[in-house]
Amino acid sequence: MKGPGMNRQVEIATFGAGCFWGVEASFRELPAVLDATAGYMGGQTPEPGYAAVCTGKTGHAEVVQVRFDPQQSGYESLLALFFSMHNPTTLNRQGPDIGNQYRSVIFFHSDSQHQLARQAIAELDQSGRWQQPVVTQVVAAPEFWPAEEYHQRYLEKNGLGICSI
């Protein structure tokens, strides 16, 4: 017997756009997003924690890993939201947050995601929306490390709403 959602496809996408609190909250607003988890990716230290990542010495970026239903909304919609929530032309900086842990980065999980991310960057550069070129990194997804529990749904838990640029 099949119930609702039993045939649901699920894909994973991972984005770094500065502090992960606002990024996570923004992705949760999309109906296709089934879950969004704050975490760390792209560094050399196994099992990094927030205090270590904040030093900028682990090489990890603060990221949000998104589980989404591609039948409800494609990866392109996630890319559009990602590029709307931060300034992708600032290297290792978003607002007051400075360091490589706040870099603009897309960690792709498939050849299709890689191709679509590169295409979105090229289109954004050609659009003239930003005066500087997009510096967002596009990197194959390494191991994802979930952030500590108190970071999950942080803005929701603390009644702070959604923040963005």
The domain locations on the chain are: 11-157
pLDDT given at position 3: 45
pTM for this model (two decimals): 0.91
First to last CA, the chain: 47
Instruction: Supply the pLDDT for residue 93.
Output: 92
Q: What is the pLDDT of residue 161?
A: 58
List, in sequence order, the alpha helices (H) in the chain: 20-28, 50-54, 75-84, 111-127, 154-157
d(CA 159, CA 62): 21
What does the pLDDT profile of the chain (165 residues) look like in tens digits?
344 555 678 999 999 999 999 999 999 999 999 999 999 999 999 999 999 999 999 999 999 999 999 999 999 999 999 999 999 999 999 988 999 999 999 999 999 999 999 999 999 999 999 999 999 999 999 999 999 999 999 888 887 655 544
Strand partners, 139: 107
Q: What's the pLDDT score for residue 4? A: 53
Fold of 11-157: Peptide Methionine Sulfoxide Reductase; Chain A (3.30.1060)
Scan for tokens 């596009």, then name that residue.
138
Query: What is the reported pLDDT for 165?
Result: 42
Catalytic residue among 13, 17, 19, 79: 19
Structure tokens at 143: 């191991």
- 54 catalytic residue (yes or no): no
pLDDT at 158: 87
CB 106 within 8 A of CB 43: no
pLDDT at 162: 52
